[in-house]
Amino acid sequence: MGELGFPELTAEQVELLCQTAEHAARKHILNQVLDKDITRLDITVEVEGTKPVNITVEVDLLLSKQVKTIAVETLVKEAVNSAHIASENFLRNIQ
């Protein structure tokens, strides 16, 4: 993610940023897979630093054995990408 010029984030803004990223990743996955087909979905978002802000998104996804047509690794990468895009948009909007 490129550097954006914005003021130092407050604790509240960091929390909202994490929620925004987590929501985007979850939404992306749930748009591709039915909730009942998800055995495990853990999304972790960490924000470090102030300038630049480093955002780390980890998605742990396990689908039921009945789901064979979805490439889990690809879906996880897309979900992480969605989280980063949502994070960047969030940061642009608070400038």
CATH number of this structure's domain 11-90: 3.30.300.100
Among candidate residues 86, 93, 94, the one with its CA nearest the CA of residue 18 = 86
| Average pLDDT for 70-95 | 94
pLDDT of residue 6: 54
Separation between Cα atoms, residue 32 and residue 35, nearest integer Å? 10
pLDDT of residue 3: 45
Sign of torsion over alpha carbons 9, 11, 16, 19? positive
Among candidate residues 38, 92, 32, 29, the one with its CA nearest the CA of residue 57 = 29
Would you kindly state where each structural domain of the chain is located, as residue ranges?
11-90
| Average pLDDT for 18-31 | 98
Output the average pLDDT for the chain: 90
pLDDT confidence bin for 2, thresholds 50/70/90: very low
Residue 33 has pLDDT above 90, yes or no: yes
Separation between Cα atoms, residue 58 and residue 47, nearest integer Å? 12
Put simply, whether the predicted model's pTM sits higher than 0.75 gets the answer: yes
Which tops the pLDDT comparison, 94 or 78?
78
Q: What is the DSSP letter of 73?
A: H
